[in-house]
Amino acid sequence: MQKYYQQEIECASPEKIRELQNERLVKQVKHVWDNVPYYRKKMEEKGLTPDDVKSIDDLHKLPFLSKDDLREAYPYGLMGKDLKDCVRIHSTSGTTGKRVVAFYTQHDIDLWEDCCARAIVAAGGDETDVCQVCYGYGLFTGGSGLNGGSHKVGCLTLPMSSGNTDRQLQFMTDLESTILCCTPSYAAYLAESIHERGLRDKIKLKAGIFGAEAWSEEMRRDIEKSLGIKAYDIYGLTELSGPGVSFECSEQSGMHINEDHFIAEIIDPNTGEVLPDGTQGELVFTSLTKEAFPLLRYRTRDICVLTRGKCSCGRTFVKMSKPRGRSDDMLIVKGVNVFPSQIEAVLIENGYQANYQIVVDRVNNSDTLEVMVEMTQENFSDNLGKITDMEKALVSALKAMLGIYVKVRLVAPKTIQRSEGKAVRVIDKRKI
C-alpha cells in the first residue's frame, strides 16, 4: 500500500522544510507587494518593504489579515493575479452578509488537489479505491477539493455531492465504495441509515475523511464502530484553498499541516503576539504558494495548539489540534459558517427587532439552528395567515443569506432575556 502521496516533502527534515518556507515566503511577500495594493498599503503603514522579510523569523513583522479585510476588499481587492489568469472561484459566507470570494489559478487548484490527495493517501487510499465524495459540490470547497484529490490519487471517484441518502446508499453498496468523504454528522447519519436498512454486510468502506465541522473523539469512535472503518479528520478554509490545509494520519492525534504551502502560527487573539508551540491560541496562516488569492498572516479565529515532533506515520509536518473554539462569534452549523450579525441583518431588514436568540443543537447527529424572535406590534395581526406568511418570508430570507434552513420561533414580546451588558445571543447546546 502506498503510504505517502509526496513522500519527499511529507517526510522531509524540519531543516529542509524551513529552508523551503524561507525561500517561498520571500518570494510570496514580493508577489503580494507587487500585485496586491491592499496589502502593500498595510505593509507601508508599518514601514515595511519586502526587503524586511528575509526568512520566517521576520514573519511576525507582517500585518495580519482578517475576515473584515476580506469584506473590505471584496470582491477583487486581495487578488494577486489578473482575472484572465484565474479559472475558478469558491465562496463562503462573510461576517455581515457579504460573501468571501476566493480566486484560483489552474496552478492553485493543482496544488490544492495535491493537498487533498495527501489526505486521501494518509487515510490509506490508492488507485484501487472507490472514493465516494458526499460533500457539497459548487461554491463550497468540500466537493471539488476532495474530488480533485481523489482523481490525483487515481481512485474511482463518485461525485455524489450532499444529500439524497437513498442514492448515496445505492451507489455505496452497488459500486462498493471504500472511502467516504463527507461531514462527520452526515457520516453518522449514513451509518444509522445503513443499520436501519440492514445494509451493514453489503458495504465495503474502510476509511472516512470527515471535516468541515466540529466533532468529538466519542463521535469518531461511534462512526468507526458503526461502519467498521477508520475515520480521519481534515481541516481547511476557503480563504486558503479549502479542505486539505491539514489532514490526519494513521496516528489520529492531530492534523499535519501542509507546511510546504502554509506557514502556521499561534497568536494571542487579544494582543496578536506570537505564542510558542504547544500553547493554545488563535491559528494564523500564511499561504506560500497561492497565486490568485495569496493571503499573508490570515487570522482563522480558530483556537488550536501546534505540536512538533516526529510522528509515527513518518511525516514531519507540524500537527494542529482540532479547533477547540473560536476567538469570534462565528458558528459552524452543518458545515456552514454562520455569524449572528448576518441573522441580525436579515431580522432588521424584515421588520423585526434586533432582540433575538440563536439556539444551536444537534439532533440525531444533525445540527439544527433556531432563531427566537420577539413579535412586535407592527408585525402582529388578528389574521394568523398574515403572521405565518411573514414567518415564511423570514425563513426564506435567512435561507438565502446563510444557505441552510433556519427554524424561526416567534415568541411573545419581552420574553427573550435581556442580560446586563452583553446580550446572550447564542446558546449552543451541542455536546461535541
Partner 1 sequence: MKIKQISLFLENRAGQLLEITKILAANGINMKALNIAETSDYGVLRLIVDDAEKTSAVLRESGMITITSTVSAVAVPDRMGGLNELLNVIADAEISIEYMYSAFGQKDGVAYMIFKVDDIDKFEETLAAKDVNVSGVEEFGLK
Is residue 376 close enough to count as binding partner 1 by CB under 8 A? yes
Among 409, 424, 429, 432, binds partner 1 (CB under 8 A): 409
Is residue 212 close enough to count as binding partner 1 by CB under 8 A? no
Among 15, 384, 419, 422, binds partner 1 (CB under 8 A): 384
Residue 170 or 415: which CB sits closer to partner 1? 415
AA letter at 173:
T
Residue 95 or 379: which CB sits closer to partner 1? 379
In the complex, the smallest distance separating the C-beta of residue 270 from partner 1, rounded to whole angstroms, is 39
In the complex, the smallest distance separating the C-beta of residue 130 from partner 1, rounded to whole angstroms, is 44
In the complex, the smallest distance separating the C-beta of residue 414 from partner 1, rounded to whole angstroms, is 5
SS (H, E, C) the chain: CCCCCCHHHHCCCHHHHHHHHHHHHHHHHHHHHHHCHHHHHHHHHCCCCHHHCCCHHHHHHCCCECHHHHHHCCCCCCCCCCHHHEEEEEEECCCCCCCEEEEEEHHHHHHHHHHHHHHHHHCCCCCCCEEEECCCCCCCHHHHHHHHHHHHHCCEEEECCCCCHHHHHHHHHHCCCCEEEECHHHHHHHHHHHHHCCCHHHCCCCEEEEECCCCCHHHHHHHHHHHCCEEEEEEECCCCCCEEEEEECCCCCCEEECCCCEEEEEECCCCCCEECCCCCEEEEEEECCCCCCCCCCEEEEEEECEECCCCCCCCCCCEECCCCCECCCCEEECCEEECHHHHHHHHHHCCCCCCEEEEEEEECCEEEEEEEEECCCCCCCCCHHHHHHHHHHHHHHHHHHHCCCCEEEEECCCCCCCCCCCCCCEEECCCC
Stretch in the footprint of partner 1 (CB under 8 A) among 27-35, 95-103, 123-131, 405-413: 405-413
Residue 221 or 409: which CB sits closer to partner 1? 409
Is residue 413 close enough to count as binding partner 1 by CB under 8 A? yes
Is residue 414 close enough to count as binding partner 1 by CB under 8 A? yes
Residue 87 or 427: which CB sits closer to partner 1? 427
In the complex, the smallest distance separating the C-beta of residue 373 from partner 1, rounded to whole angstroms, is 11
Is residue 175 close enough to count as binding partner 1 by CB under 8 A? no
Is residue 396 close enough to count as binding partner 1 by CB under 8 A? no
Is residue 1 close enough to count as binding partner 1 by CB under 8 A? no
Cis peptide, bond prior to residue 75, ω within 30 of zero:
yes
Is residue 164 close enough to count as binding partner 1 by CB under 8 A? no
Is residue 418 close enough to count as binding partner 1 by CB under 8 A? no
Residue 400 or 411: which CB sits closer to partner 1? 411
Sign of CA dihedral 392, 393, 397, 400: positive
Is residue 415 close enough to count as binding partner 1 by CB under 8 A? yes
In the complex, the smallest distance separating the C-beta of residue 383 from partner 1, rounded to whole angstroms, is 6
Show the cell assigned to 370: 433556531
Is residue 417 close enough to count as binding partner 1 by CB under 8 A? no
Residue 13 or 383: which CB sits closer to partner 1? 383
Count of residues that interact with partner 1, criterion CB under 8 A: 17
SS (H, E, C) 131-194: EEECCCCCCCHHHHHHHHHHHHHCCEEEECCCCCHHHHHHHHHHCCCCEEEECHHHHHHHHHHH
Among 221, 380, 393, 427, binds partner 1 (CB under 8 A): 380
In the complex, the smallest distance separating the C-beta of residue 340 from partner 1, rounded to whole angstroms, is 22
In the complex, the smallest distance separating the C-beta of residue 398 from partner 1, rounded to whole angstroms, is 16
Among 400, 411, 427, 432, binds partner 1 (CB under 8 A): 411
In the complex, the smallest distance separating the C-beta of residue 397 from partner 1, rounded to whole angstroms, is 18
Among 388, 389, 400, 424, binds partner 1 (CB under 8 A): 388
Stretch in the footprint of partner 1 (CB under 8 A) among 288-296, 328-336, 351-359, 413-421: 413-421
Stretch in the footprint of partner 1 (CB under 8 A) among 53-61, 120-128, 131-139, 381-389: 381-389
Q: Which residues bind partner 1 (CB under 8 A)?
A: 375-377, 380-384, 387-388, 409-415
